[in-house]
Amino acid sequence: MKTAITELFGIEHPIIQGGMHYVGFAELAAAVSNAGGLGIITGLTQKTPGGLAREIARCRDMTDKPFGVNLTFLPSFAAPPYPEYIAAIREGGVKIVETAGRSPEAYMPALKASGIKVIHKCTSVRHSLKAEKIGCDAVSVDGFECGGHPGEDDIPNMILLPRAADELKIPFVASGGMADARSLVAALAMGASGMNMGTRFIATKEAPVHENVKQALVAATELDTRLVMRPLRNTERVLKNAAVERLLEVERAKGKDLTIDDIHEEVAGVYPKVMIEGEMDAGAWSCGMVVGLIRDIPSVRELIDRIMSEAEAIIRERLGGILDGKGPMREVA
């Protein structure tokens, strides 16, 4: 399958593995790239630029296919040394960067001077247009269904994707709610050139996370995510657990007086405890509504091959049969 995204990034299938904290290590990124998609190392999971350089080298030992690095620009008291992270990316020969959080505008000259293609994650059309204006090569359009930070507009992908298609000149992929062949075909139908999967890739054999995390995703339904930090306008979609319920109770009690310090215990330093140690109630961790579509833990290659073969069946047989007046020839579940 050729799309603007496969051509832009030199990949076989229009499937991207988004950057995920304490998930996007070399093992997963290489597995996705080897299976024909675009694997992404999560840059800031590596505590230093030197650590990122070593992780890029590890990934190069595992794949000769294109892969990228995620850089998330978020406000903090002690900002990470982003120029040094970018230097590690450049010196590691990585030519694709997924940016997220705040606008990457300040860092675009350094990225473009290194011949790096940039795909920026956006939760609105206006932010997507800004990404296009500052020189991003593509956009990952992130609907309200997504795990992590869905923005504050609450627009789901059935509306957001066609709106992006109406406005953007650069290619974009659908992010949020993406899990299977139906997701991919729907995204393509709404104008996207591929899809970005986060939560779905956590429930794979190669994902370097605790087995408890994978089993929690398989057991959960689409009703099992919660939105936290809404009063702070830093909304995050997470999987419900005991810590999340405590956090929400604090939010209800504090109301408009809530500060980040009030929920520090439930949101700070959580990911190593969950992803590495398997403490499922350690705190709030990102998870998309797409968890309701996760029923197994395949290898990355099995997952991507299944998506692509079933997407072809949907397009050629089910949709083609409708156009031919024969009705759907095969249902893909």
DSSP string, 131-148: HHHTT-SEEEEE-TT-SB
CB atoms within 10 A of CB 83: 12
Whether the CB-CB separation of 80 and 51 falls below 8 Å is answered with no
Q: What is the pLDDT along the chain (333 residues), one digit of tens a residue?
A: 999 999 999 999 999 999 999 999 999 999 999 999 999 999 999 999 999 999 999 999 999 999 999 999 987 656 899 999 999 999 999 999 999 999 999 999 999 999 999 999 999 999 999 999 999 999 999 999 999 999 999 999 999 999 999 999 999 999 999 999 999 999 999 999 999 999 999 999 999 999 999 999 999 999 999 999 999 999 999 999 999 999 999 999 999 999 999 999 999 999 999 999 999 999 999 999 999 999 999 999 999 999 999 999 999 999 988 888 876 555 555
- Give the whole-angstrom CA distance, residue 224 versus residue 27: 28
Dihedral over alpha carbons 11, 14, 15, 17 (to 10 degrees)? 50
Q: Specify the pairing of strand 15-17 against strand 236-239.
A: unpaired
Whether the CB-CB separation of 38 and 70 falls below 8 Å is answered with no
Structure tokens at 179: 């899990």
